[in-house]
Amino acid sequence: MRYEHVIVGGGLAGGMVAQEYREQGGDGSVLIVAREAHTPYHRPPLTKGYLRGEAGPDEVFMHPDEWWKEQSVEVRTGTEVAAIDTSAHSITLADGAEVTYGRLALATGATPRTLPGTSSIRTVDDSDALAKKLDAGSGHLGVIGGGFIGVEAAASARMKGWDVTMAVPEDVVWEHLFGAEVAAYFQRHLEEHGVKVHTGTKELPDGSYDVKLAGIGVTPNTQLAEAAGLAVSNGVETDDHLRAGDDVWAIGDIANYESVIHGRRMRIEHWDVALNHGAYVGRTWAGKEDSAYAVVPYFFSDLGDWTWFEYVGPGTGRVDVRGSLDSDDFVAYYLDDADQVVACLGVNRSDDVEAAKALITDHRSAPAA
């Protein structure tokens, strides 16, 4: 079997490659090899609206199954790739079948770290399983870890009437991401809505828990790339065009890419990065893109319907907060030693966050207060 374009990984990044390639006029054959039993979908709703039953499958999946067929994109779900041979331009499937390619995109995603006796949320099936438990009646959810998955799921469970207890290793939820001052704003919202937050610990206090959820990060799935001889260090190393080798691109959670904006390598596990990486490679394959990848990373999150934020970066440094944390209306600029903006977080300040992208790209200071 031969396809001109093969995408290993059926998540958003892989789906975006195929979608953008077709939308930009690419007419070569396309194969997506997806390990899950589903066509590509968006993961952010899995801990938020979809988990709470407020968003249906049409708001999660990129397209109906028929769309992929209409676009002549073959999606092989429930299929594992056993090996990649870049010199032969081929992949071997778990059933022994060999597929040759002209171009290859690796979008193999990441796997949640686990703890004994806990569940995790990474897939739509994981979200369905937890949603079923939340809908069965009130209970007690224990969350280990203070990352986005844990915090978002904790808020959703509280909105469903569950008791929620969190064990967070930091002094404040999200402190390592946003600094203590801004992080305290989000922890306040959690606690005001009944989430019991135990900080400085990796263990839940003694008690009866109906469900325990681990949100302790993920590990990039780089095994195939490493076995194929590609450079791997905290992800699959790529150049500033997301190329990892001869006719091979790496995107999404696994990509340790050379950022022309930041002047260093970056690997970011967020929806917007997966979306933009995939779209960039799709345009490249269609002959509509030849410049370096230069997109300021963006992400967003919300705590139930209590509060939400947008962020561009990433970066750390002195924090300059404008507006009111008490009134849910502020922007926080993160400044380096030269007082140049390296990141920006906003609550109800979308315009400021959008404008900060140019400040970060051009290495400029924050606007006058």
Domain that holds residue 351: 315-361
Q: Kindly report, residue by residue over 237-252, the tens digit of the pLDDT.
A: 999 999 999 999 999 9
**CB of 284 closer than 8 Å to CB of 292:** no
Task: Clarify whether residues 75 and 168 are in a common domain.
Answer: no
**CA atoms of 163 and 281, how far apart (whole Å):** 44
**CA atoms of 54 and 144, how far apart (whole Å):** 25
Task: Clarify whether residues 237 and 335 are in a common domain.
Answer: no
Asked, for residue 308, whether it belongs to a domain, the answer is no
Residue 185: per-residue pLDDT = 98
What percentage of residues in the chain have a pLDDT greater than 90?
99
Task: Clarify whether residues 104 and 10 are in a common domain.
Answer: yes
Chosen domain end from 195, 214, 233? 214
Asked, for residue 11, whether it belongs to a domain, the answer is yes
> What's the rounded mean pLDDT across residues 43-51?
97
> What's the rounded mean pLDDT across residues 23-29?
98
Q: Kindly report, residue by residue over 201-232, the tens digit of the pLDDT.
A: 999 999 999 999 999 999 999 999 999 999 99
Q: Could you tell me the pLDDT band of residue 161, with boundaries at 50, 70 and 90?
A: very high
Task: Clarify whether residues 270 and 319 are in a common domain.
Answer: no
Chosen domain end from 214, 235, 256? 214
Kindly report the average pLDDT of the chain as a whole number. Answer: 97
Task: Clarify whether residues 82 and 48 are in a common domain.
Answer: yes
Asked, for residue 192, whether it belongs to a domain, the answer is yes
Chosen domain end from 214, 230, 251? 214
Asked, for residue 354, whether it belongs to a domain, the answer is yes
Q: Could you tell me the pLDDT band of residue 41, with boundaries at 50, 70 and 90?
A: very high
Task: Clarify whether residues 98 and 247 are in a common domain.
Answer: yes
Task: Clarify whether residues 106 and 21 are in a common domain.
Answer: yes
Task: Clarify whether residues 28 and 105 are in a common domain.
Answer: yes
Task: Clarify whether residues 330 and 252 are in a common domain.
Answer: no
Domain count, the chain: 3
Asked, for residue 328, whether it belongs to a domain, the answer is yes
Asked, for residue 264, whether it belongs to a domain, the answer is yes
Task: Clarify whether residues 195 and 274 are in a common domain.
Answer: no
Task: Clarify whether residues 99 and 229 are in a common domain.
Answer: yes
pTM of the model: 0.96
Asked, for residue 180, whether it belongs to a domain, the answer is yes
Tokens of residue 129, six digits: 């399983």
**CA atoms of 195 and 201, how far apart (whole Å):** 16
Asked, for residue 291, whether it belongs to a domain, the answer is no
Strand partners, 144: 167, 214
Tokens of residue 101, six digits: 């390619």
Burial of 92 (0-12, 13-18, 19+ CB in 10 A): middle
Query: Virtual CA dihedral for 71, 298, 358, 284, nearest 10 degrees?
Result: -30
pLDDT at 369 > cutoff 90: no
Q: Kindly report, residue by residue over 309-351, the tens digit of the pLDDT.
A: 999 999 999 999 999 999 999 999 999 999 999 999 999 999 9
Domain with residue 34: its CATH number is 3.50.50.60
pLDDT at 136 > cutoff 90: yes
Task: Clarify whether residues 209 and 222 are in a common domain.
Answer: no
